Structure 1
Amino acid sequence: MSSNETDLRDEKPQFVLPLVVRIERDAPPSRTDALETAARAVLEILTDDRSLGEGEWAQAMTDWQDARIRKVVRRARGAEWRRAGALPGITVDGLEAEVRVFPPVPLDGWPKELAKLQVSGTDLDDPAAPGPVPDGAVVLWINPELDMSAGKAMAQAGHGAQLLWWAMGDADRKAWHEAGFPLAVRTAPAEEWPALTASGLPLVRDAGFTEIAPGPTVVAEGSDRFAPGLRLPRP
């Protein structure tokens, strides 16, 4: 995207896509599962009938995508989670994680039930190292040089999934959607990160507003089953 296109996006009214992750004190989800669930939640709202055509969320989705693509992850538990669940949106379940995504709202116009939720405190861990990438799953590669909270990383994974969706052809989109968006989030091997960022694959560049300096955060790569043309050549 050129600097002129970026400037035009910044001049438009700004919207944000809210995501809320359920984090109960006694049963927090694992970090990788939360990241993967957030990425699938973004894809679910992008493809929901309410977001398309004359759907009730379509104008908000268009306004959001015409400006700078912003996502913010907040956390909830107990009654907070139940109140958030009463608002229009989509809840996506992972192995342990629950993430609810809502139609975009103005940057300074969050519903009160969401505005009071905390952004901080989304520090999650993986009890064990994530396993191998499942067969056929696309991969969202996280910059190995960054230290991000789980909430920040969830937003970045969502960005990566969205860019990959945009880069896919219609047949790959249809197949991926029908399969339930199989994907994996993994930290990129340090030795592969330079090649990934230079590959021309969908690349997320963070603006540096929170937590980290501006720069690349995620590279999205297809699989042998979905978008095989969007893969890094390997020996």
Structure 2
Amino acid sequence: MILEPLAARYASWLGLPAEETALPEASPDEVRAMPVILRMEKPAPSPTATLKGHAARDSRPPPPARTPLLEAAAAAALAVCLDERTKPGGEWHEPVRDWVSGHIRKVARRARGTHWQAVQELPGVTISIDGAEARALVPGRVVDVPKEVSRLQISGSELPPDEPGPAPASTPVLMLNPRVPMTVGKAAAQVGHGTMLLAALLDEHRLSAWAERGFRCAVRVPEPLEWAELHPGANPAQAWSERSVIAVRDAGFTEVDPGTVTVLAQWR
């Protein structure tokens, strides 16, 4: 499977000194990343009266809720990696293979209107969950990012916290670190890392079953005590074998300190 390099280095990555997680694995011109595009339309204006007394209509969808948008981003990132086109001989195989062999960087950007429609023409997968949409694109060198992507803003938008309720039964859960604030873009990248690492450690049967469900997952913010109880600590193998939990440890290039565990993903 194309994600095998992630499984092979998972435990060693968790054991690195924090400062070593931020060491570059490639020269600036060879840094690779997966663009993750989040659809974030402007709120529709208040209805205005027409001359005939009817309210003007606005066809734009409302802004998405934070949790469904993160869940869509998490599923989309994994869907690209396990698409049929990433298999040996497929058109996506080499770019995805080259990317997962190093840091699995993702850059989340926001798009709306015609800019959102433009990125649909680029190689990738769009996932829609409860009205929220995210498109993960085939990774490549950052210096080669298409103009349809480079013109999109990385920061500047946020979504308010929501209350999604308990995670559905038998659904993988991605838990955001309750003590580390992250923008919606940063969180989208981190939960995408979480689904990839989780898939890399699953057996073929469970992975196939997850694929049939469209890689649906639940994103939640646990209480600090639950986070502490699930955290793999110094024994990631035991955490996986006993609790089916993996940890996402960030290199700290943006927003968080190097070595920060941003997400715990649990297979249920």
Q: Report the TM-score when normalising by structure 2.
A: 0.78
- 2:175: which partner in 1? 141
Q: 1:74 matched to which residue of 2?
A: 109
Structure 1 segments of 4+ aligned residues over 4 angstroms from their partners: 2-9
2:235 maps to none
The structure 2 residue matched to 1:162, chosen from 196, 220, 228, is 196
Deviation at 1:195, TM superposition (A): 2.1
Match of residue 15 from structure 1:
32
Q: For residues 203 and 150 of structure 1, what CA distance do their matches in structure 2 show? A: 19
Unaligned runs of 5+ in 2: 1-11, 44-61, 233-238
Q: Which residue of 2 aligns with 1:171?
A: 205
Name the structure 2 match of 1:65.
100
- 2:33, 2:107 within 8 Å by CA — same for their partners in 1? yes
What code does the residue aligned with 1:207 have? A
Give the drift of 1:68: 0.8
> Which has the larger displacement, 173-182 or 62-71?
173-182
Residue of structure 1 equivalent to 2:265: 220
From 215, 223, 226, give the equivalent of 1:192. Answer: 226
* Structure 1 position 40 matched with structure 2 position 57: no
Which residue of the other structure, out of 148, 153, 156, is the alignment partner of 1:113?
148
Q: Compute the displacement of 1:7 (Å).
A: 9.3
* Bigger radius of gyration: 2
Q: How far apart are residue 82 of structure 1 and its match?
A: 1.4
Q: Distance in 1 between matches of 2:157 and 2:197?
A: 24
Q: Deviations over 1:85-128 (max 9, x none)?
A: 122221111111111111011022211110110001331124x4
Is the counterpart of residue 101 in structure 1 residue 136 in structure 2?
Answer: yes
Task: Count matched residues.
Answer: 222
Equivalents in 2 of 1:166, 1:207: separation in Å? 19
The structural deviation recorded for 1:6 is 6.8
Indicate the residue corresponding to 1:205 in structure 2: 249
Could you tell me how far apart the structure 2 residues matched to 1:52 and 1:6 are? Answer: 29
Partner amino acid for 2:122? L
RMSD after superposition? 2.0
Worse overlay, 189-198 or 168-177: 189-198
Equivalence for 1:232: none
Give 5+ residue unaligned stretches, structure 1. Answer: 224-235
1:11 Cα deviation (Å)?
Answer: 3.9
- TM normalised by structure 1 equals 0.88
Q: What SS does structure 2 have at the residue aligned with 1:162?
A: helix
